[in-house]
Chain A
Amino acid sequence: MPKPFPMAEPNPVRSSIDHEDPEYAPLSGGAKPEDRRRPTKVILAGLSVLLVIGMMLGFFTDTKPDFCTQANDALLSMTREGAGPRSIPAEAVVRPGARGVKEGVSDKSSRIIAGVNVPSFPWNNSMLSWQRTAFHFQPEKNWMNDPNGPMYYKGWYHFFYQYNPEGAVWGNIVWGHAVSEDLIHWLHLPLAMVADQWYDVNGVWSGSATILPDGQVVMLYTGSSNESVQLQNLAYPADLSDPLLVHWVKHPGNPVLAPPPCINKLDFRDPTTAWYTSGGKWRIAIGAKINKTGMSLVYETEDFKNYKLLPGMLHAVPGTGMWECVDFFPVSEDGLDTSVNGPGVKHVMKVSLDDDRHDYYSIGTYDEKANTWVPDNPEIDVGIGIRYDYGIFYASKTFYDQNKRRRILWGWITESDSEAADVQKGWASLQGIPRTIVLDTKTGSNLLQWPVEEVESLRLSSKEFDSIEVKTGTVVPLDVGTATQVDIVAEFELDKQALGATPEADADYSCGASGGASQRGALGPFGLLVLADDGLSEQTPVYFYVVKGPNGTLKTSICTDQLRSSEASDVVKHVYGSFVPVLEGEKLSVRIMVDHSIVETFAQGGRSCITARVYPTKAIYGAARVFLFNNATEANVKASLKIWQMNSAFIRPYSDQ
């Protein structure tokens, strides 16, 4: 009969005083003076001794090296080595740091910090209802956030998500559920789990699924308890023969995990999918922090009900703050099952940083025995290096799709319009189009993300444009009709002569620090204008910007520019983007998917990705167009592209018909 560890208690915080017997009986009357003095001394001495013993017990209960003692030691040594608050890593080799002070605050807060009184735009229902997407996952209404427990089971892809059944803001969180046969055409099912137990009554928060070799499905998730403690819980399908997995059962022995003593009870959440070790046990990782050091704890289990906290921590990075939605998985040029390991297998460590609302990943080596993961390049360690996406993309989570043997990434795309507009339109948030993830074997230092091939089943009519010359300072309309639901694949080539003649640039380029597409350089910006009206009063440029460095080396950035995306001023207007590696002999290639208020960009086969939310007031419905543009001063550009109209995915509630 397995013993749950730690003991499940209805009230985890309980005073120990209830159970102590009074040590000393009160003095009875009639005691002689000398007798009275001696008891006082005894009481004093006794209490003090108890105090000392208590203190000693507190410090020395566990002589074995345990996680908490080791954690404190490890943190001390980290600080001593001067690994303090994270700094922007050096550029050169791989990728300049994306994190800067200006990006350190949430997109919205930067608006009021600027001290500007932003007038609200008179959004009408027509403008707002246009914003709903045609082929991105979103519930029929209300608020959504993190993707949860994605998996493939008996012919269906399952998707769960953080959902507020009561409104278009975060709160009252439960698990929504939807299924699809192809990751694109989703059918809504009833809520999978609601907040009906003491251990998750304050929130059924994020978690992950593990499919066991014998076909069992295990769901681990964080519950916010009746006392707001973050506890980990186990749930499983009520009926494994139901491919839709509509009903779920919570393990009667929940919770299965509580925060360890050195971890704050509010900094312990988002258990990962489990991986199977060579020792025949399962392991999961859970994100936490101590002070400002984010970390991942690792637990070992055989039955998913009893766990052992392993000493050491898979990884930790000082200065990064709380690690949310930790993800840990092996990568190669093919998708790999989460349990794959071996010499030469690289592992990805990924975290969602609470601190700046961005998802970071790093590639490194997993040492199962030592329970450590070490980044290949510490300068682009987790939290200070590469991001999955340089726009809005958070709380992302991968799963291994055993059906098509690929690793798939889900990411939560929040709104960047005003909250009042969200309330008016009655919904908030999308999920990005699921992406396959593989190791980029050409660079070896980043992942490639690409929309799942099934999205191509939505492609309707297309138009091809071959070798269009786009001269400096020009805009070329592309006659594809309405462009609110389009899939664009484009290639660009800078004029070779101009490229050679252009002198070395005197400065680097950074999308976020730039003036966007209207800031001209010798070799950029050039690309496409999406969600643009004929008069270009509203436009969202997605562009490349090339900078010539020393010895003729070229450095390329990919950016999405929201600065003139809407006449409304109560929407976020940034220039998102990053450096993107372009190897010898490669043309500049980009794929852009436009689906109403979301624009997803994938550069160089998915080396750099940018997701932006766009809220035009004019460039909507039949008025939305697409253009080519070249705002460089020195080099003409040749563009070849194909543009497809995209069908709706008709995401709707499941019905038996």
Chain B
Amino acid sequence: MKTPMLPLLLLITQLLLITILPFASADLVDDTCKKTPYADFCVSALRSDSRSSTADTPKLGLIMVDKVEVNAKSTLTKIKDLLPKSPDPGMKQALTSCGELYNVIISMDVPPSKESLTKGDYKFAEEYMTDAATEASICEAGFGVKSPLSNSNDYVNKAASVASAIARLLL
């Protein structure tokens, strides 16, 4: 039997290309994160979400916004939990402010950022994720020396900064 060389070759090439593609997406995570302020954080956060292996840049941004949302919600829960347990008025005040700030993050920063990244008017995601990062910083600053929310604030600040930077890449 004579093997048809040319068509076979073409078919093999096609199959090779199909197998290479997923690896191209994984490089997108590295490429994208390199251009954000917290590259290592960005990589580990994105890769922890299975969607990142086949995501395009806007979707990577959306994954990051999801991280902001999830962590902001858990931080808010922590705040509500800490408030009744805090006798110190300064601490109470700081926690209350943080509660307001995290409400803003969840209800006012996350929705327009998601909308922006989904619909393609990316400047709004850049803007609102920057706001979210600032709000987390403001919350942290309110405690002075000892903050019970340092890890949470740090995470949200980083995640929002990265999300903002990703949106910036799309402009």
Contact = CB atoms under 8 A, between A and B. Distances in A.
Given A118-B137, A170-B112, A266 B127 contact: no
A33 to B, nearest CB: 12
A484 B58 CA distance: 44
B134 A111 contact: yes
B10 A112 contact: no
A7 interface: no
A28 interface: no
Given A167-B108, A169-B128, A267-B120, A117 B164 contact: no
A-B pairs, 7 with minimum CB distance = A266-B120, A48-B7, A117-B141, A419-B131, A354-B171, A109-B130, A171-B112
A186 B130 CA distance: 34
A298 interface: no
Contacts, number: 117
A640 interface: no
Contacts of A117: 137-138, 140-141
Contacts of B10: 48, 51-52
A120 B138 contact: yes
Given A112-B137, A118-B138, A45 B4 contact: yes
A203 B112 CA distance: 12
Contact of A47 (B11, B104, B137, B171): B11
18 contacts: A37-B1, A44-B4, A48-B11, A109-B127, A109-B130, A109-B164, A112-B137, A117-B137, A117-B138, A168-B108, A203-B121, A205-B121, A228-B119, A265-B120, A269-B121, A419-B108, A419-B131, A420-B100
Nearest to A266: B120
A120 B7 contact: no
Interface in B4-57: 4, 6-8, 10-11, 14, 37
A113 B36 CA distance: 12
A29 interface: no
B69 interface: no
A287 to B, nearest CB: 12
Contacts of A423: 104, 108
Most A-side CB within 10 Å, residue of B120, B137, B164: B120
A470 B120 CA distance: 52
B75 interface: no
B142 A49 contact: no
Contact of B134 (A51, A112, A224, A322): A112
Contacts of A357: 123
A48 B112 contact: no
A44 B15 CA distance: 13
Interface of B: 1, 4, 6-8, 10-11, 14, 37, 58, 97, 100-101, 104, 108-109, 111-112, 115-116, 118-124, 126-128, 130-131, 133-135, 137-138, 140-142, 161, 164, 168, 171
Contacts of B171: 321-322, 354-355
A41 B4 contact: yes
Given A41-B4, A48-B10, A119 B138 contact: yes
Contacts of A120: 97, 101, 138
A266 B119 contact: yes
Contacts of A570: 138
Contact of B116 (A44, A45, A170): A170
Interface of A: 37, 41, 44-45, 47-49, 51-52, 105-106, 108-109, 111-113, 117-120, 167-172, 202-203, 205, 224, 228, 230, 264-267, 269, 321-322, 354-355, 357, 418-420, 423, 570
Contacts of B168: 105
B108 A224 contact: no
B52 to A, nearest CB: 20
B111 A169 contact: yes
Given A112-B137, A228-B119, A265-B120, 20 more contacts: A44-B11, A45-B7, A48-B11, A51-B11, A106-B127, A106-B130, A113-B37, A117-B137, A119-B141, A169-B112, A170-B112, A202-B115, A202-B119, A203-B115, A224-B119, A321-B171, A322-B171, A354-B122, A354-B123, A418-B131
Contacts of A228: 118-120
A423 B108 CA distance: 8
A198 to B, nearest CB: 14
Nearest to B115: A171
Nearest to A357: B123
A37 B58 CA distance: 48
Contacts of B138: 117-120, 570
B104 A420 contact: yes
Contacts of A48: 4, 6-8, 10-11
A113 B37 CA distance: 9
B100 A119 contact: no
Contacts of B142: 119
Contacts of B104: 419-420, 423
Contacts of A269: 121
A550 B30 CA distance: 51
A178 to B, nearest CB: 23
A171 B124 CA distance: 9
Nearest to A570: B138
Nearest to A37: B1
Contacts of A47: 7, 11
Nearest to A225: B119
Contacts of B118: 202, 228
Nearest to B124: A170
B122 to A, nearest CB: 7
